[in-house]
Structures are given as C-alpha cells and as structure tokens.
Structure 1
Amino acid sequence: MTERIALGKSDLLVHPIGLGTNAVGGHNLYPNLNEETGKELVRTALDSGMNFLDTAFIYGPERSEELIGEVLKERGSRDDIVIATKGAHKFVNGEVKLDNSPAFLREAVEGSLKRLQTDYIDLYYIHFPDEQTPKDEAVGELKRLRDEGKIKAIGVSNFSIDQLKEANKDGYVDVLQSEYNLFQREAEKDLLPYTAENQISFIPYFPLASGLLAGKYSKDSKFDDIRAENPLFKGEAFERNLEKVEKLREISESNHADVAHVVLAWYLTRDSIDALIPGAKRPDQVLDNLKTLDVQLTREEIERIDSIFRG
C-alpha cells in the first residue's frame, strides 16, 4: 500500500495522487459532461486506493459535490476518504460574487455538508479571497467550524503571499492550493518557500496545465472548453509550449513512462508539495495517473526538466 502523507499540520493522511473533480458535474466548465461517467471517476479512484477527492461549490455549480455525495452514500462508509471542497462564491441577482465573511463561510460549509451527504468535511478551503474581509478573520471562522467538528483542516486557495501570511497569522492554515505548473512558476518566488517553512502543504491545481503537459496535443488540436481562453493554448505561444513538452519525451522513454507521469513525478520532488490532484474525464485516466508513483527521477533529470521550461 502506498504510504499516506499528512497534510500540513493536520492529521489528514492522503494518498499522494488524488482526484481533481471539476469534470465530475462541472457543467459550467466543460460541455457535454456525462454525470454517470463522473460518478464512475470517483468510484474508480476510491476502488484503486486513492482516498483524496478535491471538489468545490462552483463546479457545476453545486453538482460536483452532489454527485460525490451520491457515491459516498452508495458506499455506506467514508472511513479513510478525505474530502476537500471550497467556497467563497455566491450568486447575487444572477451574478457571481466573492464573499469570505464569517457568516457566509458558515453558510457555505453547511451547504456543502448537505450536498456531500456527510456530517464533516476533511479539508475546507476559502476558494478565492474577497476584497473586504480580513483574511485572519475569515480563517478564524474556519477555526471555529473546525472546533465544532464540521471541518477537520483549513485551506486557502488563490491567495497571494501577503494574503497567505495574513490568513496564517495564528498558524491555522494547513493547506494552500494555487495554480502552479512547469509553464506557470510564479509560486516558486515566495509561496513555495513560505509553505515549506510554515508546515503548510502546497497543492498545485491544473498540474498538467489542462492537459498541455501530458504530451497528447499537436499544433492542430482545437478546444471548445475553458482551454480556448487560456493563453497557454493560443497562437505562437501554444506552438512554443508544445516544443518544450516534446523535449520531455527522452526523459519519459528512459523511465518507461508517459510524459504526464514524468511531469507529475517532478512535482513530488518539490518542497511542501505532498499530494497532487490531477483531473480525469475517463476512468482509465484515473488509473493512469497512479503510474506516476513508478517514476523515480534522478537529480540530472530534474535539472533537465527545469532547464527546458526556464529556457
């Protein structure tokens, strides 16, 4: 059995490969999702030994949490399953607003508990910071919810270094989730060092850059989902990015692995990155992500990967 890793200062133990579930009921993110396939992604992950599921209110909205809740109910027990979800978004007159106020976070947690059909959430994140709520005040409410047993660990997502420091003023933050991949490495300047120094686990989202780092696209690939607006997938930048990914094939071949496995293995060599949450749209992709753990990169290979993407 793969060794489980503790998240931050909490006692949550997770498999290093989890499942990001924005394709489980995330109808507002991807067109034509099949909900039964989405539930099968979750079943496959849990049956394979993965125990870390990452979702959010805004995936759907709400529907991802609901589908995961249905799978949890099927299983009858959620022992050893670590559920992470996020809140901060609310709808006001048809528009999405951000709200980190204590009252709203409490309301959001209660809503997630109902949709997930559970009486506690393992890891609850503030999904995005708002502009008005003091960050330590928002986290303070999550601390109270933790004391009440409604959540077990506290996370923040998409916080800048200054926002993270304010949020962690009393040392309550266990996990930071932020965008970080080989193309987008701003987090290395200050977020990764801070999390490593303060026993905060760093969970990168979109670790495969929405599939770009999986080595499966060509310059003729077309996109009709959220990737269509992503600068990484546009014009000459897209072609340059594909050239960089192609340079990883030598490393992947020497490891008898796919490019995606090499990329995911690279993350697990970074300080404070304890677990990954790659997404999937098919059950076989869920299982394929587990092959990451068979890749043991050498120091020279790690340096080579860095040089490719810094060039």
Structure 2
Amino acid sequence: MMNSKLILGTVQFGVNYGINNNAGQVTQTEVNRILEYAAENGIEKLDTSSAYGNSEEALGNSNLINCKKIAVISKYPRCSKSPRECLNDSLKKLGVNSLYGYLIHHFDFYQEKPDIWTEIEQLKSEGLIQNIGFSLYTPEQLEYLVNNKVKFDIIQLPYNMFDRQFESYFPKLKELGVEIHTRSVFLQGLFFKAFDAFPEKLMPMRKYVEKLQNYCKEQNINIANLAVAYSISKQAIDGVLMGVDNCNQLQSNIECANYNLSLEDIAFVDSIEVKEKELLNPVNWK
C-alpha cells in the first residue's frame, strides 16, 4: 500500500481549479467526507495555502485535522503581510498550533524580498513550523537555492510522465536530506484531454498525449493508474500531491497509487521526451 506517499491537495476546497474541473469549488460537507476518507486510508499529510481562497477555513471548519492527526503543509504567498502575520492567520483558520511544513509559495517574491526566509527560519526555531521550504516551478529556481547554499527541509515541484526536468537533481536533494514532494501528476488533466478539445496553444503537446493514450489503450491500462503509479514508484519522491473535487476521486487516486507498474510501463514513460519544455508549465498555456 502506497497511500502514505499520497498528499491530499486542497486547492479545490477554496477555488475552482484545473483544466478539466467542471464541478466547481468543493462544498464543506464534501470536504469533511474527503478528510475522513483520507485519514481512514492512510493519507498522513495535506497541502494548502493562504492563497487558495477559503481552503484553510474549510479545513479548519471540518475540525478533523487534529483528531485524525493529519499533518498540514501551508504556504506563504506574495502578500503585504509578514510571514509571521500570515502564518498566525493560517494557524487560526486551520485550528492548529503549528504546521508540519510551511513553504514559500512564489519564488520570485522570495528573490525580491530574501529577508522573508530569515523570518520563516525564525518561526521554525520557535516551534511554530517543523519543516520549511519552497514551492518551485523551474530547475533554475532550485539551482539558485543550491548555489546560494540555502538550507531547506521540503521542496515541492512539478513532476509527471511528461515533466521530469527535476529528476537529475533528486540525488543531490536526498544527499541534503530534503523531503521531495511532487505535484501536477496529471499535468492539470492534459493526459485525458480529447484530441478535438485541444486549445491552439497546446497543439504541440497533442502528439505526446496521443502516444500516451494509444499505449494505454493497447496495453489496456488506465492512464490515471500509469500516471500516479509512475510518480509513486520513484524512490526519491517522498510525497505525491493530488487534489480532488470529491470523495470518489480520492478513492480512485488511492487505487491508482496501488497499481502495479510493469518494467515495460516504466520504460515506455521514460521514452517520452517533450521538446516543448515551456508548455510543461500550465502558466504558459494562457
């Protein structure tokens, strides 16, 4: 059972999110069901941010985080408040005294105001946060941290069947004792996109999606199983972050996490090499 590697993403609890999300923001009743089911099925961590609308309030309103012993990771976004003010707000909304992890959400904001990292280190020293780190988008951002000898405990980054740009850094991160969390396992639903529904901007990605969908059809494999199990199978990855719109989706994600990959499956995914690197970042899809 690989459920302990799954991290419950909660962005949908506060805002509408995802290229294929037609359900809208998750209701409080469904949030409660999801948290109950997650805890019952071995999921130990959840990920949120004060930038995710009222996600933190929805989690706090459930009153389930403490009693189910779910570790919370939140993030400090680009904002006018100090890290301490923002963290205190998050703790209050979540109904907890401390966080398992607190990440800088927007790397460019950190580069503009590097002193915020010193403040976050101070909050860790006071016991308000167990682990501190960064949410990244590009390998260049990671290189900046490593080159400047910034010490962090957790790194969150995109990783999926198409986007494996950070993989070469995994050994170094493990050597430094960093906990690696990955997100975007389905590349915001792109793997499932119907060919006739591709936006013009994403047309260069269609050939890769077609190759993936054809392989799964030939092998009688569910694309979701392949996508999740591939990330879960990476020994260096400590957590695979997945957001959900409802409890049934969480159940499906857990089933995917426990799918047994073949060596042929892994070799196939490894053979996919996306040349249009800029389209691996959904920010560039608009």
For the criterion TM > 0.5, the same-fold answer is: yes
How big is the shift at 1:235?
A: 4.5
Give the one of 228, 245, 259 matched to 2:223: 259
CA distance in 2 between counterparts of 1:300 and 1:293 reads 18
Q: Which residue of 2 aligns with 1:53?
A: 46
The within-5 A match list for 1:20-99 is 20-27=9-16, 32-36=24-28, 37-60=30-53, 63-71=54-62, 73=63, 75=64, 77-78=66-67, 80-90=69-79
Q: Which residue of 2 aligns with 1:206?
A: 184
Matched, 1:162 2:143: yes
Count matched residues.
266
CA distance in 1 between counterparts of 2:74 and 2:273 reads 31
How big is the shift at 1:52?
A: 1.2
Q: Which amino acid aligns with 1:180?
A: Y
CA distance in 2 between counterparts of 1:28 and 1:263 reads 19
CA distance in 1 between counterparts of 2:77 and 2:202 reads 33
The within-5 A match list for 1:1-311 is 2=1, 15-27=4-16, 32-36=24-28, 37-60=30-53, 63-71=54-62, 73=63, 75=64, 77-78=66-67, 80-90=69-79, 104-129=82-107, 130=109, 131-134=111-114, 137-158=115-136, 160-165=141-146, 168-169=149-150, 171=151, 173-189=152-168, 191-213=169-191, 215=192, 217-221=193-197, 234-249=201-216, 253=220, 258-309=222-273
CA distance in 2 between counterparts of 1:156 and 1:263 reads 24
Q: Which amino acid aligns with 1:280?
A: V
Q: Which amino acid aligns with 1:132?
A: E
How big is the shift at 1:57?
A: 1.0
Do the aligned partners of 1:155 and 1:175 also contact (CA within 8 Å) in 2? yes
Do the aligned partners of 2:208 and 2:272 also contact (CA within 8 Å) in 1? no
CA distance in 1 between counterparts of 2:257 and 2:263 reads 16
CA distance in 1 between counterparts of 2:157 and 2:65 reads 32
Do the aligned partners of 2:65 and 2:71 also contact (CA within 8 Å) in 1? no
Q: In structure 2, do the counterparts of structure 1 residues 118 and 235 end up closer, same or farther at CA, with 3 Å as the change threshold?
A: closer
How big is the shift at 1:251?
A: 7.9
Q: TM-score, normalised by structure 1?
A: 0.75
CA distance in 2 between counterparts of 1:192 and 1:277 reads 17
CA distance in 1 between counterparts of 2:73 and 2:219 reads 31
Q: In structure 2, do the counterparts of structure 1 residues 220 and 38 end up closer, same or farther at CA, with 3 Å as the change threshold?
A: farther
Q: In structure 2, do the counterparts of structure 1 residues 146 and 76 end up closer, same or farther at CA, with 3 Å as the change threshold?
A: closer
Q: TM-score, normalised by structure 2?
A: 0.81
Q: In structure 2, do the counterparts of structure 1 residues 274 and 58 end up closer, same or farther at CA, with 3 Å as the change threshold?
A: same
CA distance in 2 between counterparts of 1:271 and 1:76 reads 28
How big is the shift at 1:117?
A: 1.2
Q: Which amino acid aligns with 2:165?
A: E
Q: Which runs of 5+ in 2 are unaligned?
A: 276-286
Do the aligned partners of 1:27 and 1:59 also contact (CA within 8 Å) in 2? no
Q: Which amino acid aligns with 2:259?
A: V
Q: In structure 2, do the counterparts of structure 1 residues 56 and 199 end up closer, same or farther at CA, with 3 Å as the change threshold?
A: same
Select the structure that is richer in helix: 2
Q: In structure 2, do the counterparts of structure 1 residues 76 and 57 end up closer, same or farther at CA, with 3 Å as the change threshold?
A: closer
Deviation string, structure 1 residues 180-213 (Cα, Å, up to 9, x no partner): 2222232234x33431321212212111101223
CA distance in 2 between counterparts of 1:299 and 1:106 reads 47
Q: Which residue of 1 aligns with 2:278?
A: none
How big is the shift at 1:168?
A: 5.0
Q: In structure 2, do the counterparts of structure 1 residues 28 and 293 end up closer, same or farther at CA, with 3 Å as the change threshold?
A: closer
The 3-state SS of whatever aligns with 2:243 is coil
Do the aligned partners of 2:2 and 2:232 also contact (CA within 8 Å) in 1? no
The 3-state SS of whatever aligns with 1:23 is helix
Q: Which amino acid aligns with 2:144?
A: Q
Q: In structure 2, do the counterparts of structure 1 residues 49 and 167 end up closer, same or farther at CA, with 3 Å as the change threshold?
A: farther
Greater Cα offset, 28-37 or 266-275 = 28-37
